[in-house]
Amino acid sequence: MSERWLVAMSGGVDSSVAAALIARAGHEVVGVTMDLGEGSSRGTSARGPMSGDVVPRGAKKCCGLPDAEDARDVARTLGIRHYTANYRDEFKRAVIEPFVAEYAAGRTPIPCIACNRVLKFDLLLRRAEALGARGVATGHYARIAAAPDGGLALFRPRDRDKDQTYFLFDLPRATLESVAFPLGDLEKCEVRALARELGLVTAEKPESQGICFIPDGDVRGALERLRPETAPAPGPITTADGEVVGTHPGAVGYTPGQRRGLGLSSGPWYVREVHPAENRLVVGREEALHARAVRIREARWLDGSPPVGPVRVAVRHRHKSVSAEVLPGPGDCADIRFDSPVWAPAPGQAAVVYDAADERVLGGGWITVAGA
């Protein structure tokens, strides 16, 4: 039966092919590109003290107007409707402001998770409902299939190199009823081949890398633009024992496991802890950054309760998952113990839990503490 689907079209090849596959299946497609602008308006926001442009003028960014033009070209080729919707304020509130606040607190945020949960699978789902659509389809590499209990669950895609389930772990299970991931059973090379076959303008378009609103990768520079009133100041770099081994230009923006930008002799040294209140970095040798456990907060479990028995856990995107067990804690907290040490789990990152077969997403939470 033909249905109407809203497809989130970022202007890249993946979302373009996702729209094509939904249309090929005989459904009506409404393409929507979210205009996220430059992530912030000029001047002082009524919601916070951030000002200035997130992305430098002329830099390539995701979900801006040039990408909307590509999405519109794809829509014309496919013969589908296309709209550009202004989500600049929502993006700033849900993604940019928490991003800055997390770094200011010494944590390492993951803006893509908030963007998915709030913009794509909340606000766009509401828009889909208003349009009488079945739900929202995206170009994510993930699969939705039946779980052992018969309900829907989130699974890793066929192309494990493109796996994006890490960024989708906290989607409510009920949401999966209204979501489609058409690329879940395709390899990236097949996606590009299909785009070429269909004559889509995005067929050879390079993939976006890193944080979409910081295309040059300069996190510290972006933080300075976003919070100019909190200019960085030099501070000490110490060992865990308190020995001063150097200075840094400002602690905010560093992350555990980072090696570049420390300027220390007798290395290699790695960032072990970030203490923004003291404007201090703690560094250590490689062996000191391996952890056998982490504590998570705001744990979310797709089955409604923490998993029992062996699981697999990834502590960052593209991290090879390791065997572990989940120990429920008070409230929405839990401890995760790894069978083998993991490298530099960072507060603010997610610990995503998969089943023992390393295929089905069971849930996860936000790392607060990493320990031996």
Which amino acids are annotated catalytic? 115, 212
User: Which H or E run includes 123?
Assistant: none
The whole-angstrom separation of Cα 271 and Cα 245 is 12
With CA atoms as reference, report the closest residue to 143 among 156, 162, 159, 161. 156
The whole-angstrom separation of Cα 63 and Cα 288 is 40
Return the axis-axis angle of helices 65-78 and 13-24, rounded to nearest 10°.
Answer: 30
With CA atoms as reference, report the closest residue to 179 among 140, 215, 214. 140
Asked whether the beta carbons of 175 and 142 are under 8 A apart, the reply is no
The whole-angstrom separation of Cα 245 and Cα 133 is 59
With CA atoms as reference, report the closest residue to 54 among 240, 204, 215. 215
Asked whether the beta carbons of 40 and 50 are under 8 A apart, the reply is yes
Amino acid letter, 363? G
Amino acid letter, 250? G
In this structure, the dihedral spanned by the alpha carbons of residues 113, 119, 121 and 123, taken in order and rounded to 10 degrees, is 160
User: Is 75 strand, coil or helix?
Assistant: helix
Buried/exposed 181-219: b ≥16 CB within 10 Å, e otherwise? bbbbebbbeebbebbeebebbbbebeebeebbbbbeeeb
Tokens of 279: 């404007």
Q: Measured on CA atoms in the order 340, 342, 347, 348, is the torsion positive or negative?
A: negative
